[in-house]
Amino acid sequence: MPFTATILTMFPEAFPGPLGVSLIGTAWREKDLWRLETLDIRGFSKDKRGFLDDTPAGGGPGQVLRADVIASALDSVDVAGRPLLYMSARGRPLTQARVREWSKAPGLVVLCGRFEGVDQRVLDARGFEEISVGDAVLAGGEAAAMVAVEACVRLVPGVLGEAGSLSEESFEDGLLEHPQFTRPRTFEGREIPEVLLSGHHAEVAKWRKAQREIATRERRPDLWAAHLANQQAKGD
> Do 217 and 141 fall within a single domain?
no
DSSP β-ladder status, 186-187 and 129-132: unpaired
d(CA 34, CA 153): 7
pLDDT of residue 5: 98
Is the domain of 149 the same as that of 225? no
- How high is the pLDDT of residue 60? 96
**Owning domain of residue 180:** 167-234
Residue 162 lies in a domain: no
Band the pLDDT of 234: cuts 50, 70, 90.
confident
R_g of the chain computed on alpha carbons: 22
Residue 159 is assigned to a structural domain of this protein = no
163 confidence band (pLDDT: 50, 70, 90):
low
Residue, of 46 and 8, whose pLDDT is higher: 8
Point out the domain boundary residue: 130, 153, 176.
Answer: 153
pLDDT at 164: 47
Q: How far apart are CA 24 and CA 13, in angstroms?
A: 19
Average of per-residue pLDDT values in the chain? 94
Residues 95, 177 within the same domain: no
- Does residue 158 sit within a domain? no
Q: In the listed set 153, 186, 207, which residue is the last one of a domain according to the structure?
A: 153
160 lies in a domain? no
pLDDT digits (tens, 9 = 90+) for 108-139: 999 999 999 999 999 999 999 999 999 999 99
Q: Say if residue 55 is in the same domain as residue 134.
A: yes
Domain assignment present for residue 123? The answer is: yes
Q: What is the CATH number of the domain that holds 204?
A: 1.10.1270.20
Which is nearest to 110 in space by CA: 88, 137, 95, 89? 88
pLDDT in tens, 39-98: 999 999 988 788 899 999 999 999 999 999 999 999 999 999 999 999 999 999 999 999
Residue 113 inside a domain? The answer is yes
Q: What CATH number is given to the structural domain containing 65?
A: 3.40.1280.10
How many structural domains comprise the chain? Answer: 2
Statement to judge: residues 37 and 126 lie in one domain: yes
Same domain, 136 and 24: yes
Whether 161 maps to a domain, the answer reads: no
Query: Is residue 214 domain-resident?
Result: yes
Same domain, 149 and 174: no
Cα gap 55→58, rounded to integer Å: 9
